[in-house]
Structure 1
Amino acid sequence: MQQPVAGDRSIAVPSLHPSQARLAADLHCTHRVIEDPEWSLATVPHLTELCLQHIIDNFEKNPIVDHLLPEHQRKVLDRLSTGLPLAVTANLISDEDYWKRRCTERWQVCDTSSYGDSWKRMFFERHLENILKGFIPNTTDPNQVLELIPLCKDYVWKLEVDQFLPPVQVDQKEKRDDLSDTGSDLGFDKLSMHHYDLGDLITALPHLEELHLTYGVKDCGMNFEWNLFNFTHQDCCNLAAAVKMCHNLKVFKLTRSKVDDDKTRLLVHSLLDHPCLVELNLSHNLIRDKGAQAVGKLINHSRLETLDLCNNQIGHPGARALAQALAENSTLISLNLRLNHVEDKGGEAIGHALLSNTTLKSIHLGSNNLSEPTAVLFSRVLAQNTTLTSISFSCNHLGLDGGKQLLEGLADNKVLTEFDLRLAEVGEETEYFIHQIVWANWEAARLGSLQHPPTKPL
């Protein structure tokens, strides 16, 4: 043993055998690890976590979720990649939080109120719509759509496609130059090519209830060509056949697509006796009187409740055909004929029909070159009809006397809650008194039905 030196206060340490020294050093190190303030048992992952992470990392090759405990399912679904193939996730994952992540990462604006409050439905409807908007016939692989059908068919209830691209035209510039040399525009018809045929898709979607379509190109810029906006006869035949086979379709909208009389008759023929259709919108097209006559037949051979023919070219013969259908119809609730050319002959015919019709609640006749004769007849309608709650005569020429006639007809009316007479030239005083009567009717209806008040009148 080492002897202490005078004045040295250290404690004498006995000499150790080498093996004992190593053991003492190991014990010292162990003691230091345990006392390390930065060391924590939490840094060591549990076996369960390792297993869950393995499932997540290999989910595409071996998707496992149904056999996990609920708390483990939650952890896996919260950490799954939103880039997984739809072939893996579509029919396996129903968790709304997962589909919410996929939606919000892909689109800036997401509102599920238009999709039955379902994130999964929103994803598949918008995903399918985007594919259809970018589909180029003869260029895009049709399997992009066909392979998606078994994945999305149970989650698609509505499709809104506001663009259909035409096929790419080879040597299009040379063709235009050749046509310009002939001095004829007829050659442009040869350049009109058909768009994607929706038949196989629509008939394979068992829940499809709404179809909103526009045949045209958005944001074409300097590449503008008239044939980019051509809804061809073949397009119409294909669409008519598809819609006829879509037995659950309730709402059909085909707008801004240059639908003329011939195409209207084709579509109407496919919709006659349709079991479910309740709303038809053919607004902003090229429908004239013959097309309106065809629609008149449809009114009485279907269950239509809402019909929108706004901004077409319907004159008084077409209006008379619609009026005849109205006189016999018992299902139509709303009719929009704004921005047409029905004039007084058509307006009077519709007025006569409304003297006997007991189901129509709303009619829009704005911007139709109507004048005092129509106002006189509608004065009788206001006095007798107990169903109409909304009428619009905006942007017509009813005149002061026409306004007085309408005011007189409203004297005992208790049901009209909306009456739009803006720019109808009825005079400010008459318009004020009419507004007071309509407002009183609206207030009475509100008090009588607090849970579902009608729209506030203009």
Structure 2
Amino acid sequence: MAGHQRTLRWIIGEDPEWSLALVPLLSNLCLQSIARNFEKKPFIEELLPAQKDYVLERLSPSLPLQLTANLISDEGYWKRCCKQRWDLCDVTQYGHSWKQMYFERHLENLIELFIPEVTDPKTILDVVPLGKNYIKKLNISQLLPPIRESPKQLEDDVSDTSSESGPSLDHFDFGILLDQLTNLEELCVVYRVKGCGMNFEWNLFEFTLQDCQFLSKALNLCRTLKVLRLHQSKVDDGRCRLLVRHLLDHPSLRELDLSHNRIGDRGARAIGKLLNRSSLEALNVCDNNIRGPGAQAIAYALSTNSTLLSLNLRLNRLGDVGGQAISRALLMNRTLLRLHLGSNAMGEPTASVLSQVLAENNTLESINLSCNSLGVDGGTALVEGMSHNTSITECDIRLTEVDQESESCICQVVRNNQNRARRKQALQKATRSTPNWL
């Protein structure tokens, strides 16, 4: 039997780590080939869902937009595109859509780096048909002027008046773009150059008359626009009036921010006219040069307005003439919820009128009177008005020279109103959650 016993042999493979489980599936090899050659042959719609996901995960985020814009909707792919280009990516600011973020920021970058008379407008216009369905908001933080070669002038004294000298430097013409962005709802523009350093010149921060004409006409054609912010751009009375002329009767504009500009009384009168011929819900003209007459014009419009919910007049020069006018308008207005009158050189006469407003107006929820010289008598008047108020849940009277006792009384009324508002909200929530059959 021993002679018939089989001899056992060891077979040693060429690759000791080889395993049948490591052999890629033919289907995966095909899908990998599709991903590698996607730019030449964009084969995606015919795949099964699992196969499509496999290919999308392997696509390069550097593929041309002309290929991917209308073909790929996968959020994972656009997330990789965003992460590759920008370090900070807060998708919550873009409706939680990575594709919207990519197209909005891509177009913003193109506009911010556009040099008039040098950059071909086609570079921007080519993006419009690809991303117009996704572009809802643009935040333009700089606009470059055209390149002008001029001999250097050495002067002993350089003053702010030099901003008015030299050739006019017009910027990007929004007229070629806005009417094509059919889903644009919010536009924020600042006419400045970021990080100019030692190349600083005043005309790098100039909102020219031609710029104003370009922008005004473009805004008139952008019928979906809801929010316009044009701040820190040296908008004066003339430019403000031109802007307002094209915004009158705008069908969708709901918020206007012209803060940190040079708007005076003439511009304020135009804004008052806009309040009567629009559906604005929020107006911000803080840090301008509006005085008493301009405030009176805004107050006249406010007295009959039925849409405005928020008004910010902080850091102007209303004085008691303007402060009293705005206050009296609130005796007739029953829609405004938030009012900011901080830093306006107002005193006890304004506080006296506001006392009557606080007693009679139970719509206003927030009022800011900080950094005004209301004085002890003004504080006493505000306490009298607040004692009859049930709606104010925010009242800022810091740095108003109001005595401590008056401040304490006002704060107590505000706390009572806050508690009342919370109970009301809880009751409404409970009512909505209760079944109709109970």
Same fold, TM exceeding 0.5?
yes
- Answering whether residue 109 of structure 2 is matched by residue 130 of structure 1, we say yes
Query: For each residue in 1:341-387, what CA deviation from the matched residue of structure 2 results, as whole angstroms up to 9, or x when unmatched?
Result: 00000111111111111111111000000000000000000000011
Deviation at 1:306, TM superposition (A): 0.3
Partner of 2:298: 322
Runs of 4+ in 1 over 3 A off after TM superposition: 31-34, 183-190, 450-453
Q: Which residue of the other structure, out of 250, 270, 273, is the alignment partner of 1:297?
A: 273
The code of the aligned residue for 2:32 comes to: Q
Deviation at 1:450, TM superposition (A): 3.9
Partner of 2:226: 250
Partner of 2:96: 117
Could you say if the C-alpha distance between residues 451 and 56 of structure 1 is closer, same or farther in structure 2, counting changes exceeding 3 Å? Answer: farther
Deviation at 1:185, TM superposition (A): 6.2
Deviation at 1:45, TM superposition (A): 2.2
Counterpart secondary structure, 1:231: coil
Could you say if the C-alpha distance between residues 163 and 382 of structure 1 is closer, same or farther in structure 2, counting changes exceeding 3 Å? Answer: same
Q: Which residue of the other structure, out of 355, 362, 365, is the alignment partner of 2:338?
A: 362
Partner of 1:7: none
Q: Please report the TM-score for the alignment, with normalisation by the length of structure 1.
A: 0.89
Q: RMSD over aligned Cα, in angstroms?
A: 2.5
Q: Which residue of the other structure, out of 401, 406, 411, is the alignment partner of 1:425?
A: 401
Query: For each residue in 1:231-256, what CA deviation from the matched residue of structure 2 results, as whole angstroms up to 9, or x when unmatched?
Result: 00000000000000000100001000
Q: Please report the TM-score for the alignment, with normalisation by the length of structure 2.
A: 0.93
Query: For each residue in 1:25-49, what CA deviation from the matched residue of structure 2 results, as whole angstroms up to 9, or x when unmatched?
Result: xxx89x5439x64221233222111
Partner of 2:259: 283
Could you say if the C-alpha distance between residues 451 and 225 of structure 1 is closer, same or farther in structure 2, counting changes exceeding 3 Å? Answer: farther
Give matches, 1:29-44, under 5 Å: 31-33=11-13, 37-44=16-23
- The answer (yes or no) to whether the contact 2:163–2:202 under 8 Å persists in 1 is no
Partner of 1:386: 362
Give matches, 1:175-194, under 5 Å: 176=153, 189-194=165-170
Give matches, 1:17-166, under 5 Å: 31-33=11-13, 37-166=16-145
Query: For each residue in 1:11-63, what CA deviation from the matched residue of structure 2 results, as whole angstroms up to 9, or x when unmatched?
Result: 89xxxxxxxxxxxxxxx89x5439x6422123322211111111111111111
Counterpart secondary structure, 2:177: helix
- Answering whether residue 187 of structure 2 is matched by residue 211 of structure 1, we say yes
Deviation at 1:200, TM superposition (A): 1.5
Whole-angstrom CA distance in 2 between matches of 1:267 and 1:257: 13
Tell me which structure has the larger Cα radius of gyration. Answer: 1
Whole-angstrom CA distance in 1 between matches of 2:428 and 2:98: 28
Partner of 1:16: none
Whole-angstrom CA distance in 2 between matches of 1:354 and 1:218: 41
- Answering whether residue 318 of structure 2 is matched by residue 342 of structure 1, we say yes
Could you say if the C-alpha distance between residues 451 and 195 of structure 1 is closer, same or farther in structure 2, counting changes exceeding 3 Å? Answer: farther
Q: Gaps spanning 5+ residues in structure 2: where?
A: 430-438
The code of the aligned residue for 2:190 comes to: T
Could you say if the C-alpha distance between residues 104 and 384 of structure 1 is closer, same or farther in structure 2, counting changes exceeding 3 Å? Answer: same
- The answer (yes or no) to whether the contact 2:305–2:333 under 8 Å persists in 1 is yes
Provide the identity percentage: 53
Query: For each residue in 1:373-402, what CA deviation from the matched residue of structure 2 results, as whole angstroms up to 9, or x when unmatched?
Result: 000000000000011001110000000010
Whole-angstrom CA distance in 2 between matches of 1:388 and 1:394: 17
